[in-house]
Structure 1
Amino acid sequence: MFLDLYEEVPLAALNYLTAECNYGGRVTDDKDRRTLTTAVRNIYCAGILQDGFFLNASGSYRVPIDELQSHEATVDYVRQWPLMPSPDVFGFNDNADITKDLKEVAQTLTTVLITQSAGGGGAGAKSFDEIMMEMSKDILAKLPPNFDMEVAMKRYPVRYDECKNTVICQELAKFNKLLDRVRGSLQTLQKAVKGLVVMDAALEGLSKNMLNNQTPLLWMKVSYPSLKPLSSYIAELLERLDFFQHWLDDGPPTVFQMPKFFFVQAFMTGVMQNFANVPAAAGRPASADKECQYTETFHMYMTTRMINPHFSPELCAQVAVINFAVTMAGLEQQLLRRVVMAEQLELEEQRLRLVEEVPTNLKTLSPRTYTTSSAVGFLPSLTPLFAIGLLHTSIKVTNEAPAGIRAGLNGTLLCFISVRG
């Protein structure tokens, strides 16, 4: 490189030589090469020429130029660095260590489970066949029957003004396919355990996954994405099925829980199409081919399970997205005030005015009363004791004013009827 020929160190050339030529030739992925270039650029910089330059944010890696007078000294100093570098060396924060440790533990436990014998233990322990029969019977007993697609299509036919009908029919069909796969594979596994059918590779993999409390890969091919173990997966599946069963029996819910859907994008698209299909009237945009013209009158409500009286169901889809474990009490307590602010804005404005006026009234009430009581020739019968009583009564009335507004708010809250989502 003939570094002595340059007045300044050619950092750009060194970066290219190291990141692109030396190491970059061995890295095939373009994103990995970009990451490598960024890491090298953090080392080959102007600060590296200064004494005490830190290579990472925590300061655990530095370059003591005065102490590195020879190649041997440099090698000895580098060997003092820990073998397991901290996450900030690679541009991550300390939480990356938690993710790395969890993955390593999961891989270790998976390896241990693979090497574990599938046979029965000592005296009194259940055999492999008994465990498989018991687990399969337990899961089959929990599974509800398939959704009646004929009834679903009659109740929710294809309509131009209600695209969510198409969404629910598609979701029910996907869940029926998943139920068929789960129920059919478990029934076949029971027959294989009894010796009625051959235990093929798919059934063997199913049995190993169930024994290790892992969601079977055979099911995941037709399932929604999930990283949960088998027990949690079954519990979540039952919750999803219950959600759509209520939708099928009782009509569209007030709150659509996004984690319950196979394909959330289809639901969101259906909601937007519902709004776009409404004729252009009362400030609403006309239908377009693919996109809906923006208007301030359209809002995607994601706040509460309460009925919104100003918008029809076609224009108002309330979605629980902040807290996926949505409960009725949590929505009413935490988010109902936002509904009141949207529907009864004058009450909120009146409350804010009182909040500003009450401190001012309390601050000026006492000196005004005292001035009035001590004025010469004015209300001569106003004794100090009577003035104190008057002041107490005035403060009490002033404090009771917000209570009246609060009662008005409570009365407004009663107008919002709770419904089951």
Structure 2
Amino acid sequence: MFCVDRIPWDTLTYITGEITYGGRVTDIWDQRCLRTILKTFFEAHTLEPDYKFSPSGTYYAPELDTLENYRHYIEGLPTVDPPEIFGMHENANISYQRQETMSLVSTVLDIQPRVSSGGNGRSNDDIVYELADSILEKLMEKLDIEHAHAELFKTILSLLDVLSEDVHNCFCFFFLKLDDKGRTNSLTTVLIQEVDRFNKLLQIIKESLHQLKNAIKGFVVMSDELERVYISFLNNQVPGMWTTAAYPSLKPLASWVQDLTLRCAFINYWIKLGAPLSFWISGFFFPQGFLTGILQNHARKYNLPIDRLTFTFHILPYFREQTEYIRSLADLSFGQKAEMDKEMEVPNDGVYVHGLFMDGFQWDNVNMMVTDAKSGEMNSVLPIMHMKPEMDLQQNSESYCCPLYKTALRAGTLSTTGHSTNFVISVELPSSKSQDYWVAKGAALICQLSE
């Protein structure tokens, strides 16, 4: 007789998760999810009487006498498996149905015949031409960091002549962003890199739009590449030549252009007004570089090894909506704070970030911890978060180690670190429930929505 206490549950989980599915599931966070699901079936409590595999009690291992009874039980199971069998929230089914609908709509748009005229008597050429004009009007010429620096230095040089030596050194440190060893602030380097990336993207977009307008007028030949841009515009899709040069995004064309203008405005105000009190982390072209810059600044400030620094995360009871935040900066000059920033103190270490969305759960601003999402509410907003570097930090067992992704797809190319290129960082969030509970829910943070 096989003793229950001797069943090698860990071995069964390892063989199934790491060997049977190991070659197919390579992402670290996907492996964690797989192991969590397997625990539902490979644990000692599964042998207890009346054990159920789902909260509703629909799924269980029946103790029946005949094969016919087993067949009857199996035939009575739901035709479509509900999310609860995997421990997921009911919103997961809504998300799945939306993805299937968008996939169907996209396929229909791709195969539909192209007619010579659109609605209201306008031709497709008219629609695409007007859309190209509209996009060109919304995009700024470029992000001019050199001009901003020239104005900044001019202001500083006029002030330094009348300042004492101590104040002179203080101004040099604050405005020129140099430490006591003459090194540039790492976030200034991040800003320069972001400006370069966005300017390259803006150049590609504008050149393609001008060429497309000329091709519609007949001044140049409509190439295959421009034809694909033309078709993308009719389908409200982002052209492939833009996505290749851009940051990851799942948004349709209209929302994508609006998002790009917000990102450019975020970087432009950083140039003109100085570093914001709270950074819109979703607006970075490469958020990993921004996080590395924070760690590098902290390592230089306290002479610490950067490879032993990790972030602690503290959620503040304040929210930021980026469109509203950008409007509040319109009439400010360098060094001034937005009205909504006056309720918070500048952090001594680390930075404040905002702009993250919660998928599979939500934030409880009363108890200051994560909680189950509301039915039908797909993505709630995470409040402002203080990211502070710490040395040799140990993971808090009472917190949920939550992955942060750039898009809701959560997939990308596997990097050498074992993470997807869509992955940004893991965030520890306070929770009253176990890690496995949230892993099964598919709880994650994302930088931007898909609509």
TM-score class, shorter-chain normalisation, is 0.5 to 0.7
Long gaps (5+) in structure 1: 1-5, 279-284, 325-334, 336-421
Q: Which residue of structure 2 lines up, in the alignment, with residue 194 of structure 1?
A: 217
Which stretch of structure 1 is more off in the superposition, 129-138 or 166-175?
166-175
Q: What is the TM-score normalised by the length of structure 2?
A: 0.55
Q: Which residue of structure 2 lines up, in the alignment, with residue 213 of structure 1?
A: 236
Report % sequence identity.
31
1:106 pairs with 2:102: yes
Compared with structure 1, are the counterparts of its residues 11 and 18 closer, same or farther at alpha carbon in structure 2 (3 Å cutoff)? farther
Of 311, 321, 333, 2:354 maps to 321
Matched residue type, 2:254: S
Q: Which residue of structure 2 lines up, in the alignment, with residue 260 of structure 1?
A: 283
1:5-404 equivalent positions in 2, closer than 5 A? 6=1, 12=7, 28-30=23-25, 42-43=40-41, 52-65=50-63, 68-121=64-117, 124-152=120-148, 154=150, 155=152, 159=178, 160-278=183-301, 285=302, 287-288=303-304, 290=306, 305-306=341-342, 319-321=352-354
Compared with structure 1, are the counterparts of its residues 268 and 55 closer, same or farther at alpha carbon in structure 2 (3 Å cutoff)? closer
Residue by residue over 1:43-71, the C-alpha shift from the partner in whole angstroms, topping out at 9 and shown as x without a partner, is: 57767667654232210123442xx3222
Residue by residue over 1:217-271, the C-alpha shift from the partner in whole angstroms, topping out at 9 and shown as x without a partner, is: 2212222222222112212222222232233334444443323322233334434
Matched residue type, 1:29: R
RMSD: 4.4
Provide the C-alpha distance between the structure 2 equivalents of 1:300 and 1:14, rounded to a whole number of angstroms.
Answer: 38
Structure having the higher Rg: 1
> Residue 9 of structure 2 contacts residue 43 of structure 2 at CA under 8 Å; is this kept in 1?
no
Matched residue type, 1:56: S
Matched residue type, 1:115: I
Matched residue type, 2:135: I
Aligned residue for 1:62, secondary structure, equals coil
Provide the C-alpha distance between the structure 2 equivalents of 1:41 and 1:255, rounded to a whole number of angstroms.
Answer: 40
Matched residue type, 1:196: F
Between the two structures, name the one with larger relative contact order (CA 8 Å, sep ≥ 6): 2
Q: How many pairs does the alignment contain?
A: 304
> Residue 136 of structure 1 contacts residue 186 of structure 1 at CA under 8 Å; is this kept in 2?
yes
Compared with structure 1, are the counterparts of its residues 58 and 302 closer, same or farther at alpha carbon in structure 2 (3 Å cutoff)? closer
Aligned residue for 1:206, secondary structure, equals helix
Which stretch of structure 1 is more off in the superposition, 199-208 or 246-255?
246-255
Compared with structure 1, are the counterparts of its residues 262 and 50 closer, same or farther at alpha carbon in structure 2 (3 Å cutoff)? closer
Compared with structure 1, are the counterparts of its residues 293 and 38 closer, same or farther at alpha carbon in structure 2 (3 Å cutoff)? closer
Alpha-carbon distance, 1:141 to partner: 1.7
Matched residue type, 2:342: M
Matched residue type, 1:175: F
Compared with structure 1, are the counterparts of its residues 12 and 290 closer, same or farther at alpha carbon in structure 2 (3 Å cutoff)? closer
Alpha-carbon distance, 1:168 to partner: 1.9
Aligned residue for 2:352, secondary structure, equals strand
Alpha-carbon distance, 1:134 to partner: 1.0
> Residue 143 of structure 2 contacts residue 264 of structure 2 at CA under 8 Å; is this kept in 1?
no
Compared with structure 1, are the counterparts of its residues 320 and 146 closer, same or farther at alpha carbon in structure 2 (3 Å cutoff)? same
Q: Which residue of structure 2 lines up, in the alignment, with residue 405 of structure 1?
A: none
Which stretch of structure 1 is more off in the superposition, 174-183 or 50-59?
50-59
> Residue 163 of structure 1 contacts residue 271 of structure 1 at CA under 8 Å; is this kept in 2?
yes
Compared with structure 1, are the counterparts of its residues 58 and 253 closer, same or farther at alpha carbon in structure 2 (3 Å cutoff)? same
Compared with structure 1, are the counterparts of its residues 70 and 19 closer, same or farther at alpha carbon in structure 2 (3 Å cutoff)? farther
Matched residue type, 1:223: A
Matched residue type, 2:101: V
Long gaps (5+) in structure 2: 154-175, 319-339, 358-382, 384-451
Residue by residue over 1:85-121, the C-alpha shift from the partner in whole angstroms, topping out at 9 and shown as x without a partner, is: 1112223232321221221111111122222233235
Provide the C-alpha distance between the structure 2 equivalents of 1:18 and 1:227, rounded to a whole number of angstroms.
Answer: 35
Higher helix share: 1
> Residue 152 of structure 1 contacts residue 169 of structure 1 at CA under 8 Å; is this kept in 2?
no
Aligned residue for 1:131, secondary structure, equals helix
